[in-house]
Amino acid sequence: MDSPLRLITTEVTPAAELARTIEALLVVASQPLPLEELAAAAQVDSAEVEQSLELLAEKFSEERSGIVLEHVAGGYAFRASAAATEACARLFEKPVEKGLSQAALETLAIVAYLGPVTRPEIARIRGVNVDGVIAGLAERGLIAEGGRENEFGAIRYRTTPLFERIFGLESLASLPAADDLGADVTEIRERLEAVAEKRPA
C-alpha cells in the first residue's frame, strides 16, 4: 500500500514548480535569458525568479550535473559541464571562436572597450587598415553595426551578446578596467626617450 505515500512525495510546492518552469524556459532558449524575460514568461516577479535561479544553480553545478547554469551576457543560460568537453568536442564544433587571429582579438578588444566605434577610429589605434578584420568579426557574429557617427557618417560597431557569451562575460562591465591594462603614458614616454638618447646624433 505505497500509493498514498507516492502521492505525498510527488506533491509540488509553488517554489519547486516555479523552478521547474524556469528550468524549462532555459532549456528551450538558445541564448541567455535576462531575469526580466524569465519573470515575464513565468508571470511572477523578478525576486521569485532569483530565488528559483539560486535553487537551479545548486542543482545545475559542475559538481552535480552535466548541465551547468551560468550567468552570462546579461542573462542566464545552460551550458555543458566541463567534464563532458571531450565528448562534446567529438560531436560539435566551435566555429565562432575557432582560429581568431591576434589582429582580430585586438580589434575585438578595441570595439569592446570603445564601442560603438567606427572603422577609422579602430584603424588609427591599430595603425593599419581593419576593413577585413571587421568584416570577419561581423561574420562570426562577435560584432555588429550599431548606428552611425551622424546621419551620413561612418558605421559604428559594437560587440554582440554572443561575444559576451563566448568570452564568459556577465556584461561588458566584467572586462578588466582599462587603466589596469598595459603600461601608462609616462612609462612609455620614458622608454621612448631612453631609445632616443641611445641613438647616435
Partner 1 sequence: MPAVRELELDLDAFEGPFDLLLSLVLREELPLREVDLAEIVIAFIENLSERGELDLDACGEFLVLISALLELKARAMFPDEDAELAELEPEEAAEELARRLAEYRRAKEAANWLRGRLDERRDLFFRTGPAPLAPKPERKLAQQDPTKLVAALRGLAIEPPTPSTAHMALRFPPVTQFLDRWRSLLRRRTRFDFDQEVAGLTRVEVAVAFLALLELRKQDEIAIAQSGPFAPIRISRADAERSLSWTAHSA
Determine which residue in the list 15, 16, 24, 84 makes contact with partner 1, applying CB under 8 A.
84
When the beta carbons of 100 and 138 are compared against partner 1, the nearer one is 100
Binding of partner 1 by 21 (CB under 8 A): no
Amino acid identity, position 77: A
Q: Edge-to-edge strands of the sheet including 143-148?
A: 117-118, 155-159, 143-148
What is the smallest separation between the CB atom of 54 and partner 1, expressed in angstroms? 21
Residue placing its CB nearer to partner 1 in the complex, 51 or 138: 138
Distance of closest approach, residue 50 Cβ to partner 1, in angstroms: 21
Q: How far is 77 from 79, CA to CA, in rounded Å?
A: 7
Residue of 173, 184, 198, 200 interacting with partner 1 (CB under 8 A):
184
Comparing CB distances to partner 1, the nearer of 11 and 184 is 184
**Per-residue CA distances from 131 to 136, 158, 162, 194 (Å):** 9, 15, 21, 35
Query: Does the footprint of partner 1 cover residue 127 (CB under 8 A)?
Result: yes
# residues near partner 1 by CB under 8 A: 48
Find the shortest distance in angstroms from Cβ 78 to partner 1.
Answer: 7
Q: How far apart are CA 46 and CA 68, in angstroms?
A: 21
Which is nearer to partner 1, 55 or 113 (by Cβ)? 113
Give me the phi and psi of 70, to 5 degrees please.
-135, 150
The rounded distance, in Å, linking the Cα atoms of 90 and 15 is 38
Reduce the DSSP state of residue 30 to 3 states and report it. coil
Measured CA to CA, the distance from residue 70 to residue 79 in angstroms comes to 7
Which amino acid would we find at residue 111? V
109 touches partner 1 (CB under 8 A): yes
Q: Could you tell me the three cell numbers for 154?
A: 561612418
Q: How far is the CB of 31 from partner 1 (least distance, A)?
A: 6
Residues that bind partner 1 (CB under 8 A): 28-31, 77-80, 82, 84-85, 88-89, 92, 94, 96-97, 100, 102, 105-106, 108-110, 112-113, 125-127, 162, 165-169, 175-176, 178, 181-186, 188-189, 192-193
